[in-house]
Amino acid sequence: MRDMTEDLVGLVPPPEEPDPAGGGLPESVVLPEDYLHFLSVYGVGTFDMFLHVMAPEHDNEYLSVRERTASFWSVLARMLEPNPTVEPLRGMLGAGAGAFDPVAPLADSLRAAASVAVWGSTDNGDLCLWVVPAEGEDGFVLVIGSRFEDWYEYGVGITEFLHRILTGDIRCPAFPEDFPTTGVQMVFGDVVAVADLPTARHSFLTGDQYIRVMDAWPAPWKTIQEEQRKQGGTESG
């Protein structure tokens, strides 16, 4: 697997003060070296206000690989519980346990894997997993849609997936058409915002920066315009 962390640096500048990304995982959970290298450069954060990259462990459970992976298995188990509406149909048609249950094939393949780890998520609730099918085999990125009704496999490493998603070389059907954002990251004091402009570069925000943007939403441009007016007034005065 290719480590494309340095390629990402050329595409998206890492934060000056990355959000620390430490912690360990159970021995049964494997994360690739390129992902660990990425965390040492970028830390925990969000690409283009949409795609969140987690740490092995984090104070925020939503940014913790350990917690999100455990939560994922719990959600999957609940989705596989018998459905009173579906069970009679299975009986009438003589169908197996997996019939009418779109998540069953996904669950079967993941249960058989040597390692499964949730390393990323999106604002829409999609999940990004690192799956190692069997010991000694290469892993792959698996994106699961928010409703667990669709999933997409990419035979690349995590950093290559991130780079190719941001450059448009990979288009994941689970993600919206307006991601990645073609916007310019603009910083005025404590305000960080992403603007939809044609000559854009991508953004990577730490947790604190992301929260500040969300607090300023839905009108970050109002704040930016105020800052621009202040700067213009200072220059003209």
Q: Are residues 227 and 141 in the same domain?
A: no
Q: What is the pLDDT of residue 143?
A: 98
**Are the C-beta atoms of residues 4 and 36 closer than 8 Å to each other?**
no
- On average, the pLDDT of the chain sits at 80
Q: How far apart are CA 101 and CA 80, in angstroms?
A: 8
Mean pLDDT of 186-193: 49
Q: How far apart are CA 182 and CA 147, in angstroms?
A: 27
Residue 122 CB partners (closer than 8 Å, separation 6+) = 50, 51, 52, 128, 146, 175, 179
Q: How far apart are CA 20 and CA 12, in angstroms?
A: 18
Whole-number CA gyration radius for the chain: 21
**Comparison of pLDDT for 98 and 203, the residue scoring more:** 203
pTM comes to 0.79
**Does residue 173 sit in the same domain as residue 204?**
no
In this structure, the answer to whether residues 143 and 196 fall within a common structural domain is no
Domain boundary among 164, 180, 196: 180
How far apart (Å, rounded) are the C-alpha atoms in residues 111 and 109? 6
* Per-residue confidence (pLDDT) for residue 104, from 0 to 100: 82
- Does residue 54 share a domain with residue 17? yes
Q: What span, in angstroms and rounded, lies between the C-alpha atoms of 118 and 47?
A: 17
Say which range, 28-42, 77-91, 175-189, has the weakest mean pLDDT: 77-91
Average pLDDT for 167-182: 89
Domain end among 165, 180, 195: 180
**What angle in degrees, to the nearest 10, is found between the helix axes of 207-216 and 220-236?**
90
Indicate whether 121 and 204 sit together in one domain: no
Same domain, 140 and 24: yes
Q: Are residues 208 and 236 in the same domain?
A: yes
* Domain membership of residue 225 as a residue range: 181-237
pLDDT digits 0-9 by tens, 69-114? 999 999 998 887 765 554 554 444 444 444 446 788 899 999 999 9
Name the helix (H) or strand (E) containing 68. helix 65-79
Q: What is the pLDDT of residues 108-146, one digit of tens each?
A: 999 999 999 999 999 999 999 999 999 989 999 999 999
Domain boundary among 180, 198, 217: 180
In the chain, the number of structural domains is: 2
Residues 133 and 202 in one domain: no
Distance between CA atoms of residues 207 and 226, nearest Å: 24
